[in-house]
Chains A and B, each alone.
Chain A
Amino acid sequence: MGRYGDMMSNILCAKGIKKSFDGVHALKGVDLTINKGEIHCLAGENGCGKSTIIKIISGFYRPDEGAIEVAGKGFPVMTPTQAIKAGIQVIYQDFSVFPNLTVLENLAFNQVLANKKRLVNKKEFRKIAEEAVKKINFEVDLDALVETLPVADKQLIAISRALLDNAKLIIMDEPTTALTKKEIKRLFEIIAALKKNGVTILFVSHKLDEVFEISDSITILRNGENVISCPTSEITEEKFAYYMTGRHFDTAQTRKNMKKNIGAKMLEVKNLSAPGFENVSFELHKGEILGVIGQLGSGRTELSLALFGLLKPTDGKIIMEGKEVKLPNVNVAHKLGIALVPEDRLTEGLFLSQSIVKNITVCRMDELASSIGILSNKKSVEESDKWVKGMGVVTKNHELPVQTLSGGNQQKVVLGRWLATTPKVLILNGPTVGVDIGAKYDIHNLLRKLAEEGMAIIVVSDDAEEVIETCNRAIIMRSGYVTGEISEEALSREALALASN
């Protein structure tokens, strides 16, 4: 940390960067200074301009105004090739790999193309690839097709490929999104090793715990402007959230104030098994929020699918209001009063190019239509209006496609769709993934209010903070089994960390 402030040795210095698209100002004069050899975190909510500044640094966008210096050398115009030559490499969220090609080719392409070679020399390819994997001691079958590899390996391919080009500054865009806890640990080890070798890392993330665990210094953006740049040690977690959103959140208070109105037993799961998890049992009462916490691959998603009729249980019972139920499909679950807000809003939740009205009313079509299936436009709009207002979705017009909304508002639409069905049991899988802190706060408040009104809620999440803030109780899942249960009194970050590691 002592490195900070050593102004002479910054590797990147971007000053007064402005950029607008079609008259919308994405960056309004942003400064970003990164010191040599540090792990610098760039944080901010969705739409704060993080990705725009990355694209400017790596040469894909040209700034409207501002200057970029790399290792003291000025670049009036930066092209992607120049950026690579200057040692800047970006590890994108999708890792930029070719799933249909071999690891070998994935590793060698950039280098071969940069050397302007026109022909394929298999021996040269192999040499480059072997050199690349050696840099981070990455063991992989070079002849395997990338699409057959796990996500973490794809990321390692991207990292070793970046190192080949003598990367001095590696920009990692939300690198932990699709990783399991174990994989994140391995990634952090690699990042630490890179730092030791003098490589600078720009770590783009909005995950509090990661930022504090790994970074030396931090830059926070909001609405295309700098909020703060300082060593990570000078900032607290509360302040971090405030800087990102400009709002104060009193999360410690809300938990204390959580009203309890726990009623009769609503749902009971007995020794339930399905592909992905085994022998899961728990109870859920009216007015209770149960947390199901587990990492990617722990069976949490499969459990939520099984409770919603999307995955067929192989064994065990689901008992609702004292009666055993079978859930062969979503419609049966729906009729019984079960709702699921799925994990991936974009692919599983929304019809992005369709209107907000259609997205909200999709599960209520049966009620909004006459007995022979004719829909009433008026009723649909009224219904949609009710939920747009009720959920506080910010929009000018219901007929606009959902894709014009921000992530948080999109999530509110999905939530509104299911609340419209007046469920008895509401299951939310990762309810605030990719949602701004502000919207996250709103959604958490809403969940608690719903519970107070008597709804039984299950929050499936890998975010310990979220579970602590919203849930009465939590069960912990690991590799398909429930490994522990934490009662209300004991529910704290320490307990969760202890139980899930």
Chain B
Amino acid sequence: MKKFDFKKILKHTEFYVFVIIIALSLIIQARSGLFFANNNIVDLLRSLIVPSIYALCALLAFVSTGPDVSFPLIAALSAYLAIIVTKAIGYTGSAFLVFIFAIIFGMVMGALNGWIIVKYKFPSLIVTLGTSSIFNGILLGAFEAGRMDLPQPLERLGETSLLTVKNARTGLGSSLPMTFLIMIGLYIITYLVLNYTMVGRGVYALGGDEISAERAGFNVKAIRFGIFVANGAIAAIAGVCYSVMSMRYLPTEYEGGEMIVIAAVILGGTRMAGGVGTLKGCILGTLLLTMVSNSLILVGIPVSWQRVFIGVIIIIGTAISALQSYTAGRIKSKVKKEAA
């Protein structure tokens, strides 16, 4: 039924990000010949896992409400608590239960965000900034969390890998951890919920116009609260994944992850004002920034330049979308005129 509409595609930010990714990968391939090497691809996918899970939190928050910056610390604190609990009860079974522990803690923290934001209608940036600070204080102050080894279930999960490749030419090997499947699973679930349930459509509806959503019969407060609880759960999963992939729990490594993720999600076409954003854009934006931080070294650009490149990409990317929405506003007023 749907025709392939090229003009429509041209209007989507995702398309441009996609083109940039292709161009960048071709350039890196041409310069180094190593980009499409099996180990590099696997490495890239591996580095994509945690930021792309975080990106879900950023996306859901932006589409429905506004920026959420608390996910890295929810990840850190809930992973810590889950590991402590697992160790304390001496549980050695499946890693699944450890994730459940973490998810429960994460949901409680997300609920705190959601409650304050829904009840008082404060800007989500400020609230999540405050709760991040609280979670950070609890983690490093109250619990005095330090580096520690993982409990057995997570250790086992970390040792198994989905796929191991070895580059014949360079001899470098790389393996794809099981957490990759978790990420894929989360994306599929989020996709289905956002597109095929009324609650999911409600997330977009309330991001588009909150009052209209209320009038239409969406339970705006419940949906918004639910988003932050879900964000807590997703962040918790990311937190455990991160520790599984580094094979240790590193409490101070989480902080500060939010900014790049937010930038990636916005680059992927998510609108800061709410209501617009896709999973496609989310993953493409994350992929682009991950590529820049992972693969620039392949073209001989020193690591110390990485930040400069990321900064420039964020600025150019956001400038393009800012100017785009500015001209879109102008086109809109033109449409209005023609209609007259």
Contacts and interface: CB of A to CB of B under 8 A. Distances in A.
B332 A120 contact: no
A182 B340 contact: yes
Interface in B199-224: 199-201, 204-205, 207-209, 211-213, 215-218
Contacts of A296: 336, 340
Given A113-B198, A113-B218, A99 B340 contact: no
B337 to A, nearest CB: 5
B340 A92 contact: no
A137 B52 CA distance: 46
Contacts of A148: 332, 335
Nearest to A149: B335
A117 B198 contact: yes
A180 B339 contact: yes
Given A109-B216, A182-B340, A98 B198 contact: no
B215 A96 contact: yes
Nearest to A298: B340
A147 B339 CA distance: 14
B34 to A, nearest CB: 41
Contact of B201 (A96, A120, A147, A151): A120
Contacts of A180: 339-340
Nearest to B274: A100
A114 interface: yes
A119 B212 contact: no
Contacts of A149: 335
Contact of B209 (A96, A105, A151): A96
A118 B339 contact: no
Interface residues of B, number: 29
Contact of A101 (B204, B211, B271, B274): B204
Contacts of A92: 215
A97 interface: yes
Contacts of A114: 217
Of A118, A150, A298, which is in contact with the most chain B CB atoms at under 10 Å from its CB?
A150
Given A148-B335, A297-B337, A99 B199 contact: no
A81 interface: yes
Interface string A93-111: 0101111110001000110
A112 B198 contact: yes
Contacts of B218: 109, 113
Interface in A147-176: 147-152
A150 B198 contact: no
A77 B220 CA distance: 22
B13 to A, nearest CB: 14
A465 B218 CA distance: 43
Contacts of B199: 118
Interface of B: 195-201, 204-205, 207-209, 211-213, 215-218, 271, 274-276, 332, 335-337, 339-340
